[in-house]
Amino acid sequence: MSKESDRLKALARQVSDKHKDVDAKNGFPINANPPHGKKGDFVKITATLSPETYQLAMAEVTRRKLAKAGDAQISAVIREALIAYLMRGGETQVSA
């Protein structure tokens, strides 16, 4: 699994090197949530989430809806979380 993790980290670095302009909305060099009609180049995937992970994502969707914040769809939340994780080099954040 270490080789796979290293490969994913290398791919994330390559992506970050290719996209130097930072998206002002989320602070990432990749626009996770372009406007409607601009996702033609996106690749559709299927992911299986644990009930706990799904609840976390849905809690963020609900928070955004209540706050009337943009991008309150589960796909947007997952894209942003994935980009944030990969931009940190795949390191998880430890909270006290």
Q: Tokens 């080099």 — which residue? A: 89
pTM: 0.59
Contact call for residues 74 and 61 (beta carbons, < 8 A): yes
- Is 81 inside a domain boundary? yes
Rounded to an integer, the average pLDDT of 11-37 is 61
Cβ-proximal residues to 87 (8 Å cutoff; 6+ apart), any chain:
12, 16, 28, 29
Overall domain count for the chain: 1
pLDDT on residue 28? 59
Write the pLDDT tens digit of every residue in 28-84.
Answer: 567 777 777 777 788 889 999 999 999 999 999 999 999 998 889 999 999 899 988
Per residue in 37-46, is it b (16+ CB within 10 Å) or e — as a string? eeeeeeeeee
Domain enclosing residue 81, as ranges: 2-87
pLDDT on residue 1? 56
- Is 38 inside a domain boundary? yes
- Is 95 inside a domain boundary? no
